Amino acid sequence: MALLSACAGVERVRYSPLVVIDRPARSPSQVETFLTQRPSRAYQEIGVLTYRAGTAAKYVDVVQYMREKAAQLGADGIITMGSSVGPNMAVDEDVILTKRDFQAMAIIYKK
């Protein structure tokens, strides 16, 4: 069950490429995450990852889903770019769920 929910999270990550790359997939543990600073190594931005989450989503899970998607692309890392308010969704007549769009930049290191 946990594996199925993890895969569902990765599939909900949208990728908008900035350049075309052809790199083999890698393990998510090999994808570096930069939350508060940029990498010190030279890098190229390859595309934007976006994940739409509900109010109950854990940030650590959102980042992991984006790392997993970046790994599928062969990226070396992701740079988190924050979030913005997405659409509201009525759950029932008394509850409204607010969605947030989290974004990260997928990167590859320059040689």
Residue ranges covered by each domain of the chain: 2-109
Per-residue pLDDT tens digits for 11-48? 889 999 999 999 999 999 999 999 989 999 999 999 99
Residue 30 DSSP label:
G
Query: Taking the model in full, what pTM does it have?
Result: 0.82
Place of tokens 């990498």: 39
Per-residue pLDDT tens digits for 77-99? 999 998 887 777 777 777 777 78
Among candidate residues 38, 22, 111, 51, the one with its CA nearest the CA of residue 77 = 38
Residue 67 DSSP label:
H
Which CATH fold topology does 2-109 show? Translation Initiation Factor IF3 (3.30.110)
